[in-house]
Amino acid sequence: MKIKILEMNDYSAQIEFKDVNYSFVNSIRRSLVSMVPCLALHEIDFHMGSLGSYVDEESGDEREYESISAMFNEIVAHRIGMLPIPTDEKTIEAFGESIGDDSKQPDIMYSLHKQGPCTVYSGDLEPVSGDSSLVIPETNVPLVKLARGQAILVYAKAKFGTARQHTKWQCAVAPRFYQAPTISVSSSKASKTVFNIVDKKNFKKKGNKHVIDNPVEAYEAIRKIEQLWNNEDAKNSIEISRKKDHFIFEFETNGAMTAKLALEQALKALNGHCNEFASAIDATA
């Protein structure tokens, strides 16, 4: 097996796998989706009753803010629960094994207090401890709109979990992979149509054909020339081949953790899962 990191940013990654099969790469995808432990807001409490007072501009009377909004609290709680909560390696090492045992869960609390009229955003949810490393990375996600006289006061606790329990614990977004393609275009009148869409400079001349053998560039070229599938002459000048043991793997994260950490945790979880399976087979043999 050969692995090459083509791109590794904070929240996205692109990896090249060689000499592997489809099942192996798909196992990594499934592990990223459902087996990576991360934090999410799970216990969300709404304060009911008076949330302060204000002076009505029209009447001049003093009135109390109501703990109410245009949405049911259950819907607001769901929106809050789906927000990405920063999860780093140290936190995983300390509490990653606490899933299913509330007594070992971290004590990470968030609070939200807003008074209308306003739109409440994810950035208004703040860590009670004041730890800047726990600030929600996506600050402009709208949660609910409050009218005049409406207010919201929420306390929420973060817990560890995996997406096997609920999708709010899924930190990897849209992991996908494809077999590495090679595209070649034969020299003909129809090839000019192809080169009008994909610059001829992207191809290498090999005999009487123009070839793109870089899998990422070839994949992008194929997407561009899909519009020519109804052009028989152009279609006949194009040849696409794919390697069964060569894949390009891509994924992003929702901001809860870096792409590197998510991949490491996915591989660790997959390795543990395989070891358990092997031990079970040995035990029954």
The pLDDT tens digits for 131-149 are 999 999 989 999 999 998 8
Torsion of CA 212, 217, 221, 222, to 10 degrees: 90
The pLDDT assigned to 257 comes to 95
Residue 145: CB partners within 8 Å, gap ≥ 6?
69, 70, 116, 118, 119, 120
pLDDT for 43 equals 92
> Considering the chain, what is the average pLDDT of its residues?
91
> Whole-angstrom Cα distance, residue 12 to residue 258?
8
pLDDT at 4 over 80: yes
What is the predicted pLDDT for the residue at 285? Answer: 65
Beta bridge partners of 40: 159
Structure confidence at residue 64 (pLDDT)? 86
Query: Residue 54: its pLDDT value, please?
Result: 74
Nearest by Cα to 270 from 101, 81, 24: 24
Show the DSSP H helices in the chain as ranges: 22-34, 73-81, 89-95, 191-197, 215-224, 232-236, 259-284
Q: Which domains does the chain have, with CATH numbers?
A: 2-35+173-251 (3.30.1360.10), 38-169 (2.170.120.12)
What was the pLDDT predicted at 58? 66
- Among 88-97, 192-201, 248-257, top mean pLDDT goes to 248-257
Note the pLDDT of residue 56.
72
pLDDT digits (tens, 9 = 90+) for 19-78: 999 999 999 999 999 999 999 999 999 998 887 877 776 677 778 888 888 899 999 999
Residue 46: what pLDDT?
A: 94
Residue with the larger pLDDT of the pair 127 and 208: 127
**Percent of the chain topping pLDDT 90:** 66
